[in-house]
Amino acid sequence: MSGGNKDIDPSSNELREEDEESTLPELDLNHDATEPAEGTLANGAAAIARAVKHAPSSPGVYRMIDAKGEVLYVGKAKSIKKRVTSYTRPNAHDSRITRMIAATVTMEFVSTATETEALLLEANLIKRLRPRFNVLLRDDKSFPYIIITNDHWAPQILKHRGARTRPGNYYGPFASAGAVNRTVNALQRAFLLRSCSDSFFESRTRPCLLHQIKRCSAPCTQEIDFAGYSELVREANAFLDGRSRSVQKELSAEMSTASEALDFERAAIYRDRLAALSAIQSHQGINPRNVEEADVFAVHQDGGYSVVEVFFFRTGQNWGNRAYFPKADRSLSGAEVLSAFMAQFYDDKPAPRLILSSDDFEERELLAEALSVKTGRKIEISVPQRGERKDLVMHALANGKEALSRKLADTASQQRLFKAMTEAFSLPRAPRRIEVYDNSHISGTNAVGGMIVAGPEGFRKNQYRKFNIRSTDITPGDDYGMMREVLRRRFKRLIDESPRLTADTALVAVLTGNAEDEAPDSPWPDLVLIDGGQGQLRSATETLAELGITNVPLVAIAKGMDREAGRETFFMPGRNPFKLPPRDPLLYFVERLRDEAHRFAIGSHRARRKKDIRESGLQEIAGIGPTRKRALLHHFGTLKAIERASLSDLSHVPGINAETAKKIYDFFHEKAQ
């Protein structure tokens, strides 16, 4: 691939606090932002016409860019020049294309050798840059797999997620962690393979509990010899490779042989293993007879939303399904959404030999060719019209319709809550982005501030942020000072990256009726909630005023007497403190937002505290010196075991009296503030 354009750093489109991380899974929300549409249709068309002069005639990818340098759209074409030229013609473009053209000020191009390469590059760039006019795949977490390792004489069976760096046989993907956990548990009962770590395995002197409950054959203590365990591993691999019937026949024959020899104990073991295999297959619901390996996609649209339901079939078994709600313009058809979705879906996942689709789309053969090139084997994308394959697609479609119905019901409920919030807090419009802040520490140590983000469709966990309190001027335990630091760092960075709200730009947009034309995914909040009372509100108001920010609504939530939920008092600038009626749905919703911020802040604090403990050992606990530290580690083995120990267990350690045991226990179990 070649191209004369500059590289675009995809991280520039995301807000990230310096040195901070978010470790939680993604849940994207579709909300508008607070900026009027840029330019006019004539200006955009003129900018595209200028770019056409430098556009290559070869296959490749083009990027449409707005005045702020953000990518609006990524597209691919067999001839870039012809495709881009079509945007300059006075045709009747739909509203989505018209808005996209009007916002464009420049374009960039990347040439590729073939259209197939262009399709793969387009999918990769869309996932990285997340342009607002493309169909975007959301909740794109990696899928879990099952691995049976082969780097030890006694292989493990494990759940695996991420890069396949460990030697072994991988089976999947599974639709969810729950599906793979259930399957691993059933496979342990069926094949008695170990799941413990190598270090745990090597240190055993007697079988563990899993052997007692008949989920492991205990090769660690030679309860089974090498040949016998290897046979169990062979059977497990055969079952997961799709030879389930042959494995069941073998086990059934062994059970009959043992029964005829009057070895009823061994026969009972085979009986239990057969029952475990039957349980695996019964939990999988629909199982095709003639489809060994396939992914099934079905798209459905209703209420302005699109859902793509995906089923995974491997080795003739159903390994689960998942519903996706891609972000797409309402003007796009189901086939267009599905085409864009599939290309992004397989950008970082291996494709099966067969892909079944509910809708035909224009680039189906091109996508199949691209996936074949990428995987090195022939990939077929089919739109079945009859038979078992058609039944699989219709089953997926029925599940997709049910998932979208549930989402629409949830969305309607959320809209009512947001409307009630707008009225209760006197907001200029229903909030599209809510940020909630909380701090956590123990006596001022390992202080961490947490920010969570929510919107009309739920929590936006990929935008959660934690702030390690770094200021040396803050007195330990000063919650007001911590809140000032968190808000100063957050909004100062926001001003640097998106300075348009330092004046009342967004408010003007709302008052003038231009809010509907705003760009999506604005990082600016429509409402800031703070866990605390009048003091925290005053600190937040003063901090934002110092930064020149006066148009972001602030609400502080003070807990009731005895910190009782349901009796919260709300504080806002310029208003008397007020409460919401008991059992008000809005009150429960705000409590949920606050509790999520509290959970995230405490989790971040505990992670930081454990890291400090690992680095400094147990000396951080008063009264614990090298001698007692050695005694504790000798008795429990690991720091994690010490952390989990009860007060009674700690008291039995030589050299640890009751008072010291209480200090150790309180250190690990003291409730974070």
pLDDT at 9 (0 to 100): 39
What tens digit of pLDDT does each residue of 146-172 get?
A: 899 988 899 999 988 877 788 988 887
pLDDT higher at 639 or 548: 548
Query: Binning pLDDT at 50, 70 and 90, where does residue 237 land?
Result: confident
Is residue 456 within 8 A of residue 411, CB to CB? The reply is yes
Q: Hunting for tokens 């012809």 — which residue is that?
A: 82
Interatomic CA distance for residues 191 and 237, integer angstroms: 10
Give the SS3 label for residue 77.
strand
pLDDT at 298 (0 to 100): 95
pLDDT at 10 (0 to 100): 36
Region of poorest pLDDT, from 189-198, 463-472, 634-643: 634-643
Characterize the bridge pairing of strands 294-302 and 168-171: unpaired
Is residue 157 within 8 A of residue 195, CB to CB? The reply is yes
DSSP state of 562: G
pLDDT higher at 244 or 216: 216
Interatomic CA distance for residues 42 and 594, integer angstroms: 47
Residue 484: which region, alpha, beta or left (left: phi > 0; alpha: psi -120 to 50)?
alpha
218-223: average pLDDT: 90
616-628: average pLDDT: 68
pLDDT at 368 (0 to 100): 93
CB-side neighbour CA atoms (13 Å) of 425? 30
Share of the chain residues as helix, strand and coil, in percent rounded to the nearest 5: 45, 15, 35
What tens digit of pLDDT does each residue of 405-461 get?
A: 888 888 788 888 899 999 999 999 889 999 999 887 665 566 788 899 988 878 888
State yes or no: pLDDT of 24 exceeds 50.
Answer: no
Annotate 390-447 with DSSP letters as a single string.
HHHHHHHHHHHHHHHHHHHHHHHHHHHHHHHHHHHTT-SS--S-EEEEEEEEETTEEE
Region of poorest pLDDT, from 30-44, 147-161, 235-249, 368-382: 30-44
Give the SS3 label for residue 322.
strand
Q: How far is CA 206 from CA 326, 389, 636, in A?
A: 52, 51, 18
Asked whether the bond before 173 is cis by omega within 30 degrees of 0, the reply is yes
pTM of the predicted structure, to 2 decimals: 0.64
Highest averaged pLDDT of the listed ranges 139-153, 395-409, 496-510 = 395-409
pLDDT at 500 (0 to 100): 52
pLDDT at 407 (0 to 100): 84
Interatomic CA distance for residues 549 and 189, integer angstroms: 61
pLDDT at 27 (0 to 100): 32
375-391: average pLDDT: 91
Q: Does the structural domain 432-608 have CATH classification 3.30.420.340?
A: yes
Interatomic CA distance for residues 137 and 458, integer angstroms: 17
Interatomic CA distance for residues 529 and 435, integer angstroms: 6
Interatomic CA distance for residues 450 and 383, integer angstroms: 47
Interatomic CA distance for residues 610 and 43, integer angstroms: 56
Region of poorest pLDDT, from 185-189, 213-217, 229-233, 470-474: 470-474
Interatomic CA distance for residues 403 and 300, integer angstroms: 10
| Token couple for 85 | 């030229």
Percentage of the chain exceeding pLDDT 90: 22
Count other C-beta atoms under 10 Å from residue 261's C-beta: 10
Highest averaged pLDDT of the listed ranges 258-262, 498-502, 530-534, 610-614 = 530-534
DSSP H or E segment with residue 555: strand 554-558
Q: Which residue ranges make up each domain of the chain? A: 34-129, 145-241+243-282, 294-312+320-406, 432-608, 621-669
pLDDT higher at 241 or 451: 451
Contacts of 13 (CB under 8 A, 6+ apart): 70, 71, 129, 130
State yes or no: pLDDT of 194 exceeds 80.
Answer: yes
Is residue 141 within 8 A of residue 159, CB to CB? The reply is no
Query: Binning pLDDT at 50, 70 and 90, where does residue 37 land?
Result: very low
State yes or no: pLDDT of 78 exceeds 60.
Answer: yes
State yes or no: pLDDT of 483 exceeds 80.
Answer: yes
Cα of first residue to Cα of last residue in the chain, in angstroms, is 54
Interatomic CA distance for residues 300 and 193, integer angstroms: 42
Instruction: Report CA Rg, the chain.
Output: 30
**Can you name the residues that pair with 555 across neighbouring β-strands?**
529
Interatomic CA distance for residues 242 and 352, integer angstroms: 14
DSSP state of 9: -
| Token couple for 399 | 């599940």
481-494: average pLDDT: 88
Characterize the bridge pairing of strands 71-77 and 294-302: unpaired
CATH number given to 621-669:
1.10.150.20
State yes or no: pLDDT of 359 exceeds 90.
Answer: yes
73-84: average pLDDT: 92
CATH number given to 34-129:
3.40.1440.10
State yes or no: pLDDT of 296 exceeds 70.
Answer: yes
| Token couple for 154 | 């006694």
Task: Report the top-level CATH class of 294-312+320-406.
Answer: alpha beta
Is residue 193 within 8 A of residue 232, CB to CB? The reply is yes
pLDDT at 280 (0 to 100): 60
Characterize the bridge pairing of strands 458-459 and 445-455: antiparallel
pLDDT higher at 266 or 346: 346
Is residue 624 within 8 A of residue 478, CB to CB? The reply is no
Q: What is the dihedral of CA 489, 492, 494, 499, to 10 degrees?
A: 180
pLDDT at 633 (0 to 100): 74
Query: Binning pLDDT at 50, 70 and 90, where does residue 245 land?
Result: low
Count other C-beta atoms under 10 Å from residue 85's C-beta: 15
Give the SS3 label for residue 341.
helix
46-56: average pLDDT: 90
The answer to whether 34-129 and 621-669 have equal CATH topology is no
Count other C-beta atoms under 10 Å from residue 165's C-beta: 6
Question: Which stretches does DSSP call E strand in 116-193?
Answer: 145-149, 157-160, 168-171
pLDDT at 371 (0 to 100): 92
| Token couple for 407 | 């989402």
Q: For the purposes of burial, counting CB atoms within 10 Å of the CB of 79, is it exposed (0-12), middle (13-18) or buried (19 or more)?
A: middle
State yes or no: pLDDT of 62 exceeds 90.
Answer: yes
What's the one-letter identity of residue 202? E
pLDDT at 30 (0 to 100): 37
Interatomic CA distance for residues 610 and 608, integer angstroms: 5
Give the SS3 label for residue 530.
strand
What's the one-letter identity of residue 166? R
| Token couple for 614 | 């690992």
pLDDT at 651 (0 to 100): 83
**Can you name the residues that pair with 106 across neighbouring β-strands?**
65
pLDDT at 523 (0 to 100): 85
Q: Which of 138, 134, 177 is nearest to 158 (CA)?
A: 177
Is residue 466 within 8 A of residue 21, CB to CB? The reply is yes
